[in-house]
A and B are shown apart, each in its own frame.
Chain A
Amino acid sequence: MRCSTIWCLTGALLLTGWARGGEVVLAAVRSQTAANQNSAILADFKARVDAYAALRRKQEESLPKLSQEATPAEIDLHQRALLTRISTARGAAKQGDIFTQPIRGLIRAVIAETFARGNSATLRESIQDENPGKVTITVNGQYPEELPLASMPAELLKNLPPLPSIVEYRFVGDRLILLDSGAHLIVDLMPNALPR
């Protein structure tokens, strides 16, 4: 998994701590403990996302493969069939299955840190640009067909935990969602993801 800014900062803090003597060493040890905890949280998140990807792969393999010459009708049929199959296979899916409480805390911290270190006004402006706002969305449901997609700033994508290419982070209002962009499925969502 790629080392993003916030994780590198943790390392830098640790090194600085060791260089400054006893008291700070203790703080550094605490940082190390926090870093280990973060690693465990990230590993758990990755495992959950990978499990989703495996389930999706299995469902997609049971569908006819899209050819390079696919027509809009075939593409449409494929997307809808994939959505139905995945949604059925995850019938018991609920909010927080992937965005567990620990990863939600970590992601909120990453977003807050990105805002604090960057230009928070332009970041917010970019995210709010055609952001669908307070529409009703549900985990394991379809991303509403008529809704545009809010932009994700590169600065933020660089810092968030990486995802396989089948899923994307997107904002809907101040909710961060995991979107399966090929199936149009909302894999999970977390509320209050944007700093106030």
Chain B
Amino acid sequence: MRRPHFLSAALVALALAGCGSLGGGPTVTTVATVPAASLAAPTPLPNAADSLKFCVLGDFGTGSTAQYQLAARMAELHKTFPFELCATVGDNLYGGERPRDFQRKFEIPYKPLLDANVKFYASLGNHDAREQRFYKLFNMDGKLYYSFKAPKQDVRFFALETTYPMPEQIMWLEEELKKSDEKWKIAYFHHPLYSSAGRHGSDLQLRQTLEPLFTKYGVNVVFAGHDHIYERIKPQNGIAHFVTGSGGQLRGGDGRRPEPFSDRIVDSSQVFLVAEISGDQMVFNAVNRTGQIVDSGTVVRQELSSAAAPPQGQRP
């Protein structure tokens, strides 16, 4: 990966958003990104010793050559940027889920990462059998939805099951968010609240259910999949959203009609995302299967008390 040693005027603050509240304090989220034309100089990952480094992968379990190629890129990057965990946003296994499928669609392609002790924390998609929650390498501890504190930095992840958002899960989520006093709250799940893709697009029902909780309790970042593209959304109500649904599957051209809330779409290659959190900053790079950085930037969280009053977030 290229590692330019600057981050300067080339960065454009593209969006400011509204505010979250409580559960760790009201925050604003800003995203500074590198324009697509300047991606030869992406935001460098600081690769600091005490930072939290992680990756996000979605819709990957196909067993295809493309999945293996992207997995090889992940392994290659891991040698210089040792991310410790990988959040999966569902559709971990397509088609059959026999033991050989777990090998062919997960254990073999990600063997270098598993051997390097990268922990995968799965969430389930609509192609995933519920028993995946018992699969040790997915670290779900038998639960369809769960939260965990990251091993470094002040970060909590919330993995949700969005094909079946039963009332118990929504109540659980509110309780978990309420008691979370971590600075960073990151939610990830399968169905995107915002997506420009033609095939599925935004799940408006789910948005109606989850977004009020996310804004109330100050969730900073949301990762989803389902649509087989990469998309970064302009912050919505204080939250940075990413669609990372091309970890194996790809729906070429499906992002040809970006919604007004869209900031960057990649629908021509499989993509995974790596990120690094240190203090109030999350630097991210989206990488495709030829190793090219296709999106890059920094998400900054700021306590509202020390921030200028934010402009209103954009509404689609």
Q: Does B241 contact A (CB under 8 A)?
A: no
- Cβ contact of B126, chosen from A145, A150, A154, A157, cutoff 8 A: A150
Task: Find residues 86-133 in chain A having any chain B CB closer than 8 Å to their own CB.
Answer: 119, 122-123, 125-126, 129-130
Q: Is there contact, CB below 8 Å, between B164 and A68?
A: no
9-residue interface stretch from A11-19, A39-47, A72-80:
A72-80
Tell me if B's interface is mostly helix, strand, loop or mixed: loop
Q: Does A23 contact B (CB under 8 A)?
A: no
Q: Does A195 contact B (CB under 8 A)?
A: no
Q: A146-B95, A152-B163, A157-B166 are in contact. Are A181 and B130 (CB under 8 A)?
A: yes
Task: Find residues 97-129 in chain B having any chain A CB closer than 8 Å to their own CB.
Answer: 97-99, 101-103, 126-127, 129
Q: A119-B204, A125-B204, A129-B203 are in contact. Are A69 and B136 (CB under 8 A)?
A: yes
Q: Is there contact, CB below 8 Å, between A151 and B131?
A: no
Residues of chain A within 8 A of B98, CB atoms compared: 72, 76
Q: Does B172 contact A (CB under 8 A)?
A: no
Q: A148-B126, A151-B126, A182-B130 are in contact. Are A72 and B135 (CB under 8 A)?
A: yes
Cα A85 to Cα B244 in complex, Å, equals 40
| Distance from B259 Cβ to chain A, minimum over Cβ atoms (Å) | 15
Q: Is there contact, CB below 8 Å, between A145 and B191?
A: no
User: How many positions in chain A have a CB within 8 Å of any CB in the partner chain?
Assistant: 36
Residues of chain B within 8 A of A155, CB atoms compared: 205, 208-209
Q: Is there contact, CB below 8 Å, between B167 and A158?
A: yes
Q: Is there contact, CB below 8 Å, between A149 and B126?
A: yes
- Return the chain A residue nearest B190 by Cβ: A151
Cα A125 to Cα B201 in complex, Å, equals 10
- Cβ contact of A157, chosen from B103, B165, B203, cutoff 8 A: B165
Cα A119 to Cα B209 in complex, Å, equals 13
Q: Is there contact, CB below 8 Å, between A154 and B163?
A: no
Cα A76 to Cα B102 in complex, Å, equals 11
Residues of chain B within 8 A of A71, CB atoms compared: 99, 136
- Cβ contact of A148, chosen from B127, B135, B164, B166, cutoff 8 A: B127
Task: Find residues 240-284 in chain B having any chain A CB closer than 8 Å to their own CB.
Answer: none
Q: Is there contact, CB below 8 Å, between A157 and B163?
A: no
Cα A194 to Cα B126 in complex, Å, equals 20
- Return the chain B residue nearest A168 by Cβ: B164
Q: Is there contact, CB below 8 Å, between A154 and B204?
A: no
Q: A66-B134, A70-B136, A75-B131 are in contact. Are A157 and B200 (CB under 8 A)?
A: no
Which residues of B line the A interface, CB within 8 A?
95-99, 101-103, 126-127, 129-131, 134-136, 141-142, 162-167, 170, 191, 200, 203-206, 208-209
Which residues of A line the B interface, CB within 8 A?
2, 66, 68-73, 75-76, 78-79, 119, 122-123, 125-126, 129-130, 145-146, 148-155, 157-158, 162, 168, 181-182, 184
Closest 4 CB pairs of A and B: A72-B102, A154-B165, A154-B209, A72-B99
Some 8 contacts from A to B, beta carbons below 8 A apart, are A70-B135, A125-B204, A129-B200, A145-B95, A151-B164, A151-B191, A152-B163, A155-B209
